[in-house]
Amino acid sequence: MQTYTPGKTEIAGVLKELGIGEKNYGASTGCKHYAAQGPVLESYSPVDGQLIGAVETSTAGDYEKVMKIAEQAFIAWRAIPAPRRGEIVRQMGDQIRKYKEPLGKLVSYEMGKSLQEGMGEVQEMIDICDFAVGLSRQLYGLTMHSERPKHRMYEQWHPLGIVGIISAFNFPVAVWSWNSMLAWVCGDVCVWKPSSKTPLCAVACQNIITEVLKNNNVPEGVSCLLIGNPVGDMMNKDKRVPMVSFTGSTRIGRRVSSLVAERFGKTILELGGNNAIIVSEHADLNMVLMGSVFGAVGTAGQRCTSTRRLIIHESVYDKTIGVLKNAYGQLKIGNPLDASNHVGPLIDKKAVEDYLNAIAKAKQEGGKMVVEGKVLSGDGYESGCYVQPCIIEAKNSFGIVQEETFAPILYVMKYKTIEEAIAMQNDVPQGLSSSIFTNNMREMEKFLSAEGSDCGIANVNIGTSGAEIGGAFGGEKETGGGRESGSDAWKAYMRRQTNTINYGSDLPLAQGIKFNV
């Protein structure tokens, strides 16, 4: 293994450039930062186990202070023309461009993903800013023909108000930007509760955009940050927050959905994935190798779109397994800031425990190890968070295969017919991402048809992992049904209003009803 130690000077320089000190505020309303009154939250890097910094957490009192400011900000922000709001988001994109390298390094160091992936995540932030700028001039409604004479009907879209964003550790900055940039051009204000496992990334984002907020006299409270786990339920129960966007586990998602629905609020839920690639007998195995290996081990298997299952046609099963075993044997595992490494650490030791438990359960159910899994120790692995990506031959019906384990575990299984493969792909509770590798047009069209994949994302000849910001991102079933990012996902951040204008001198009623008074 090649070892790489970033060095205190390099990381210290990154933190200084991003405005992060040893102790950081836990509440912010944009340009104003507040010393939150809750316990101090320490952030340790899974890369080397070192303390990066500490953040104050928010109490109920801190929450109330920030929410009152956000309420007032919405009144002013919604009155600013959408193209002007888009211009401010454009400037944010430019500001993020300036800080792409240090922010990408912090994402990599605090979360544990490779430096290339950290930079790629920041690029997603830049891309969604560009998307949102164009969207600010395209918040279109429809016009309809009225059945009544001299009447005109149309629909328009208005901002909702305060949008609560609860994000996960695996994409500590991109998911916030997918939501906030669209919400801002729609006229909403945002309150962000980031993952308590990656709080410094959130502080950095708020620091980066502060200059833009200040230069444009943006109302205090348009971009709010509250750190600490209790904040999540405060938002979920708060009638002042008409919409909560939650990214995380299905288990927590059920609670979020229930609490917000109780008060008739709206949710965007981006929950678990149990994503499969179907490898057809007509597949290009070179493409399969690239798509499945990156899908399974990228971000150490901690993406909601990570490849969990490989459903392989029996005629190419042995060959595919041989190619995969060879590729896994060449994986370099180590410090993600070293570009020569393919796989970094899991987020913490609890994730390592989940990884080991999943392997044990798979073996108990009859799974056979194709590539052994283990926790790595020794030079460069001092954090205790590095594991060996593994492959397990399993059945789709195994209980552990039906679950999502956030770790680099790939289950492989055989199929005979395309109908059987699609049924296996769909026979899990989750429905986020799916893929088929085939050069057979009938197979690919069947996979994409109504009788094919039941996932929100269905790909042909690319893997399950990752997505472009131009398309709506999200899934079905226990994945939650939410959509973020591109396409018409912006509608979730607005309320629809149907308008009818009578420009005549009579008042005819709909459906020809006669009502004489």
Catalytic annotation, pick one of 129, 186, 205, 304 = 304
DSSP letter (8 states) at residue 387: B
Helix 250-262 to helix 230-237 angle, to the nearest 10 degrees?
Answer: 30
Give kind and range of the element (H or E) at residue 418: helix 418-426
Residues 6 or more apart whose Cβ sits within 8 Å of residue 54: 22, 23, 24, 40, 41, 42, 43
* The two structure tokens encoding residue 155: 């629909």
Cα Rg, the chain, nearest whole Å: 25
Phi first, then psi: give them for residue 511, nearest 5 degrees.
55, 20
Is residue 145 packed enough to be buried (19+ CB in 10 Å), middle (13-18) or exposed (0-12)?
exposed
CA 311 to chain centroid, in Å, comes to: 25
Helix 441-448 to helix 418-426 angle, to the nearest 10 degrees?
Answer: 30
Give kind and range of the element (H or E) at residue 267: strand 266-270
Helices (H), 99-173: 100-111, 115-135
Name the nearest CA neighbour of 404 among 180, 252, 193.
252
Q: How far is the C-alpha of 309 from the C-alpha of 275, rounded, in Å?
A: 6
How big is the CA angle at 307 (ends 198 and 382), to the nearest 5 degrees?
45
DSSP assignment of 399-415, as one string?
TTTTS--SSSEEEEEEE
Phi first, then psi: give them for residue 119, nearest 5 degrees.
-65, -40
Residues 6 or more apart whose Cβ sits within 8 Å of residue 164: 190, 191, 193, 235, 236, 238, 241, 243, 244, 245
Query: E-strand spans in 297-365?
Result: 307-313
Based on the residue annotation, tell me whether 304 is a catalytic residue of this protein: yes
CA 126 to chain centroid, in Å, comes to: 15
Catalytic annotation, pick one of 56, 270, 404, 478 = 270
**Three-state DSSP class for residue 451:** coil
Buried b (16+ CB within 10 A) or exposed e, 49-76: eeebbbbbbbbeebbebbbebbeebbee
Name the nearest CA neighbour of 77 among 165, 174, 190, 166.
190
Based on the residue annotation, tell me whether 478 is a catalytic residue of this protein: no
Question: Is the Cβ–Cβ distance between 131 and 124 less than 8 Å?
Answer: no
Name the nearest CA neighbour of 249 among 191, 308, 169.
169
Place of tokens 């493969």: 421
Question: Catalytic residue numbers?
Answer: 270, 304
